[in-house]
C-alpha cells in the first residue's frame, strides 16, 4: 500500500462538477480580478465566522504583513511570535521594519508558551502574532489578557486552523484581526495561492483593503502607497465551492486523528498529539514524537508511507535569524522537539485501511528495535 502525506486529487474528483462549473463561470464572466466571485467569497467567509469584514488577499503571508503594516507597526517596534512556526509568521514582522521576538513552545500543545511572554515584553513591543499551529488553539484567553494588560495588538495566524475553536468560539475571532492561508494543502485550500484577513474593526478593514489594492479604494484615487495583493477570481470561486464542506472535512480529520490515537496509544515509545481542554483541534497536522524519529521516518518511507517534519529547524536557528544570536538554551522545547517530531499522513479523504497500515508499520518498526 502507498500512503501519500497529502492527496488533493480525491477531493477534486468528489467535487469535480462544482469546481469545474465554478472555474467555467469565472472564465465566462471574465471576472479574473476583483468582481463578483471575490465579493461573494469574502461575504461567505465573513458570514461563516460571524465577523464584519473579510478582505481577500493574494496569500496568507501577505495577510499577516498587511495587518501589521496597517496597525502602524514599523521600524523600532518589536513583535512577539512563536519559535516553531512557518517563517511567514516572522518574516512579515521584519518586512514592516519591526524586529521579531521569538518565544518557545508549550511542551504539550506546540503553541506559544504564554508563561514566557512577559519577560520578553519591552516598551517597543507592539503586538503578538499567535499561531494556531497544526489546528490547535492557542491559550487565547491568556494571550488576550496579556495583550490588554500591556496594550498590545493580538493578531491570530489561522493558516493552519480554519474553524478550530476555543471555548466554542472560532479562533480567528479573538484578536484585532486574523489571517488565513488557502494554500492548496491547508484545511481549506484553493488551487493556487490565496489568503484572507478577518476583522471586526471598520477603520482597520478599510485601511487594509486600500493598502492591498495600491492604496486606493476607488480606481486611480491613491490615498496612500500600497501593494498589489489580490485574491483572484478563480481562486475565490473555487473557495466558494469548497467552503460548504469545510466543517465535514475538519470532522473527518478529527476522526482520523482519533483513530490514529486509539490504535497507537499502547506504543510506549511514542508521544501522541494532545488537544487542549475545551477546544476543537482541527488536525491540519497529526504530529507524533519519538527519539527514533529519523529511523522511523526512513522505515515508513521504505514501506511507501510519506511523512513530513513541521518544522525541521525552529526559526531562531535558521540562517535568516542567525543575526539574533540565539542558543538552544533560549528555546529548549523547540530545540529538543526538532529531532523528535514527525507528521503522519493526514487529509479528510484518508481511508481507514490506510491509517491501519500506517499504524501497523509503525508497530513493526518498534517491534524490531
Ligand atoms: C501556510 C502558512 C502561512 C502562509 O501562507 P501562504 O498562503 O503560503 O503565504 C502562514 N503561517 C502559517 C503558520 C502557515 O502554515
Residue 301: exposure state from Cβ atoms within 10 A (0-12, 13-18, ≥19): exposed
197 plus 279 within the same structural domain = no
Pocket residue to mutate for ligand 1, from 157, 164, 192, 194, most atoms within 8 A of Cβ: 157
214 within some domain: yes
Provide the CATH number for the domain around residue 363.
3.90.1150.10
96 within some domain: yes
CA 3 from centre of chain: 23
319 plus 346 within the same structural domain = yes
Pick from 244, 265, 294: which residue ends a domain? 244
pLDDT at residue 271 tops 90: yes
3 within some domain: no
Q: Determine the pLDDT at residue 348.
A: 98
Q: Determine the pLDDT at residue 125.
A: 98
Q: Determine the pLDDT at residue 170.
A: 98
How do residues 48-60 score in pLDDT, each as one tens digit?
999 999 999 999 9
Q: Determine the pLDDT at residue 213.
A: 97
Query: How do beta strands 78-82 and 165-166 pair?
Result: unpaired
Gyration radius from the chain CA atoms: 21
**251 by DSSP, 3-state: which?**
helix
Provide the CATH number for the domain around residue 42.
3.40.640.10
78 within some domain: yes
120 plus 203 within the same structural domain = yes
Task: Give 320's pLDDT tier (boundaries 50, 70, 90).
Answer: very high
Give the nearest ligand 1 atom to 182 CA.
7
Any ligand 1 atom below 6 A from CB of 11: no
Q: Determine the pLDDT at residue 175.
A: 98
CA of 369 to the centre of ligand 1 (A): 37
316 plus 286 within the same structural domain = yes
How do residues 62-102 score in pLDDT, each as one tens digit?
999 999 999 999 999 999 999 999 999 999 999 999 999 99
Any ligand 1 atom below 6 A from CB of 181: yes
* Cross-strand pairs, 131: 157
Structural domain boundaries, residue 260 = 245-367
Instruction: Using CA atoms of 82, 83, 87, 89 in order, give the dihedral in degrees to the nearest 10.
Output: 10
Task: Give 189's pLDDT tier (boundaries 50, 70, 90).
Answer: very high
252 plus 263 within the same structural domain = yes
Task: Give 41's pLDDT tier (boundaries 50, 70, 90).
Answer: very high
Give the nearest ligand 1 atom to 194 CA.
7
Q: Determine the pLDDT at residue 48.
A: 98
218 plus 362 within the same structural domain = no
Q: Determine the pLDDT at residue 34.
A: 87
254 plus 194 within the same structural domain = no
Pick from 244, 278, 294: which residue ends a domain? 244
Mean pLDDT estimate for the chain: 98
2 within some domain: no
Backbone phi, then psi, for 366, in 5-degree steps? -70, -30
229 plus 285 within the same structural domain = no
155 plus 275 within the same structural domain = no
Query: How do beta strands 169-170 and 177-181 pair?
Result: unpaired
What are the distances in angstroms from CA 49 to CA 11, 194, 207, 303? 23, 18, 21, 41
Q: Which phi-psi region, left, alpha or beta, contains residue 347 (left: φ > 0; alpha: ψ -120 to 50)? A: beta
Q: Determine the pLDDT at residue 349.
A: 97
How many Å apart are CA 299 and CA 278, to the nearest integer? 36
Q: Determine the pLDDT at residue 5.
A: 98
DSSP structural state of residue 363: H
114 plus 257 within the same structural domain = no
How many Å apart are CA 133 and CA 185, to the nearest integer? 14
CA of 268 to the centre of ligand 1 (A): 33
How many Å apart are CA 111 and CA 132, to the nearest integer? 7
pLDDT at residue 282 tops 90: yes
Pocket residue to mutate for ligand 1, from 159, 191, 231, most atoms within 8 A of Cβ: 159
Any ligand 1 atom below 6 A from CB of 159: yes
Pick from 193, 217, 244: which residue ends a domain? 244
Give the nearest ligand 1 atom to 183 CA.
7
Give the nearest ligand 1 atom to 284 CA.
15
69 plus 163 within the same structural domain = yes
Count of structural domains, the chain:
2
How many Å apart are CA 138 and CA 287, to the nearest integer? 16
Block residue for cell numbers 543575526: 323
1 within some domain: no
CA of 181 to the centre of ligand 1 (A): 5
Give the nearest ligand 1 atom to 89 CA.
11
Any ligand 1 atom below 6 A from CB of 189: no
Buried b / exposed e over 19-47, threshold 16 CB at 10 Å, is beebbebbeeeebeeeeebbebbbebbbe
How do residues 145-182 score in pLDDT, each as one tens digit?
999 999 999 999 999 999 999 999 999 999 999 999 99
Q: Determine the pLDDT at residue 22.
A: 98
Query: Which three cell numbers, joined as nine digits, stand for 202?
Result: 471598520
DSSP structural state of residue 320: G
Which long-range contacts link 39-42 to residues 24+ away (Cβ below 8 Å)? Answer: 40/236, 40/237, 40/240, 41/231, 41/236, 41/237, 41/239, 41/240, 41/243, 42/196, 42/231, 42/236
Taking each helix axis from N to C terminus, what angle separates 233-242 and 36-49, rounded to the nearest 10 degrees? 40
120 plus 183 within the same structural domain = yes
H helices of the chain, where? 9-29, 36-49, 60-70, 88-96, 140-150, 202-212, 233-242, 246-264, 293-302, 332-337, 352-367
How many Å apart are CA 203 and CA 224, to the nearest integer? 15
Q: Determine the pLDDT at residue 128.
A: 98
Amino acid at each position: 500500500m502507498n500512503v501519500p502525506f497529502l492527496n488533493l486529487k480525491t477531493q477534486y474528483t468528489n467535487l469535480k462538477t462544482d469546481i469545474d462549473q465554478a472555474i467555467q463561470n469565472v472564465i465566462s464572466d471574465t471576472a479574473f480580478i476583483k468582481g463578483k466571485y471575490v465579493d461573494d467569497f469574502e461575504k461567505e467567509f465573513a458570514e461563516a465566522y460571524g465577523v464584519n469584514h473579510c478582505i481577500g488577499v493574494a496569500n496568507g503571508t501577505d495577510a499577516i504583513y498587511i495587518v501589521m503594516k496597517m496597525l502602524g507597526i514599523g521600524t523600532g517596534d518589536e513583535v512577539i511570535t512563536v519559535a516553531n512556526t512557518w517563517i511567514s509568521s516572522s518574516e512579515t514582522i521584519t518586512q514592516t521594519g519591526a524586529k521579531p521576538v521569538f518565544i518557545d513552545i508549550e511542551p504539550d500543545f506546540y503553541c506559544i508558551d504564554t508563561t514566557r511572554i512577559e519577560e520578553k515584553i519591552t516598551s517597543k513591543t507592539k503586538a503578538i502574532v499567535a499561531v494556531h499551529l497544526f489546528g490547535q488553539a492557542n491559550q487565547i484567553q491568556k494571550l488576550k489578557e496579556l495583550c490588554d494588560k500591556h496594550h498590545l495588538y493580538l493578531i491570530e495566524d489561522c493558516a493552519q486552523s480554519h474553524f478550530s475553536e476555543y471555548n466554542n468560539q472560532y479562533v480567528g475571532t479573538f484578536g484585532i484581526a486574523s489571517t488565513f492561508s488557502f494554500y492548496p494543502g491547508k484545511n481549506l485550500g484553493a488551487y493556487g495561492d490565496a489568503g484572507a484577513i478577518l476583522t471586526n474593526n471598520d477603520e482597520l478593514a478599510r485601511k487594509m483593503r486600500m493598502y492591498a489594492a495600491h492604496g486606493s479604494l476607488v480606481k486611480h484615487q491613491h490615498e496612500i502607497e500600497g501593494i498589489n495583493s489580490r485574491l483572484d477570481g478563480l481562486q475565490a470561486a473555487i473557495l466558494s465551492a469548497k467552503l460548504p464542506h469545510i466543517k465535514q472535512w475538519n470532522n473527518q480529520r478529527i476522526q482520523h486523528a482519533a483513530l490514529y490515537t486509539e490504535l497507537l496509544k499502547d506504543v510506549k515509545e511514542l508521544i501522541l498529539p494532545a488537544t487542549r481542554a475545551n477546544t476543537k483541534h482541527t488536525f491540519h497536522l497529526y504530529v507524533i514524537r519519538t527519539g527514533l524519529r529519523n529511523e522511523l521516518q526512513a522505515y515508513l518511507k521504505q514501506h511507501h508511507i510519506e511523512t513530513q517534519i513541521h518544522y525541521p529547524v525552529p526559526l531562531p536557528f535558521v540562517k535568516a535569524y542567525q543575526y539574533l544570536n540565539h542558543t538552544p538554551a533560549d528555546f529548549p522545547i523547540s530545540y529538543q522537539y526538532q529531532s523528535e517530531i514527525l507528521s503522519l499522513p493526514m487529509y479528510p479523504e484518508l481511508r481507514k485501511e490506510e491509517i491501519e497500515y500506517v499504524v501497523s508499520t509503525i508497530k513493526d518498526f518498534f517491534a524490531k528495535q
